[in-house]
Amino acid sequence: MIATPKNAPICPITAALDVLGGKWKVFILSYLAEHGTLRFGELKRLIPRVTQKMLAQQLKELEEAGLVNRRVYAQVPPKVEYRLTAHGETLCPVLHSLREWGNLHREALGLGEAPCAEATSDALSVAG
């Protein structure tokens, strides 16, 4: 994150990237947009290259930003579920636009025709 004085004005793009920056956050948000509620292990299976430590850290940051809700159930074994908050759901059109931009510029970016692992366009446009 960019260090700025506490009450200094921040460019809206900088503010958004401060919250969304991180290799796995967009994937996490996309999967939660697609599936609704997911447990930690389910997210880990959907994003196999992320380490458990990094997934936990990224989820914590998204929760602190008010984009993801973490619900802990008092049971053994422990059960924790994650879902988008109403604030997080406002990102669905942004995630959809990122996906569409990637599809539009696939050739220029040197990407093959392999399907994305992210959420489907329909799921991302639900809240948009």
- Position 115 scores a pLDDT of 54
pLDDT of 109 reads 81
Q: Do 36 and 30 touch, CB atoms closer than 8 A?
A: no
Q: What is the mean pLDDT of each run of 10 residues along the chain (128 residues)?
A: 65 91 95 96 95 97 98 92 98 92 84 56 46
Confidence at residue 93, expressed as pLDDT on a 0 to 100 scale: 96
Q: Which domains does the chain have, with CATH numbers?
A: 12-125 (1.10.10.10)
Residue 127 CA to residue 122 CA, distance in Å, equals 10
pLDDT of residue 5: 66
- Quick one: pLDDT at residue 4? 58
Amino acid at 123: A
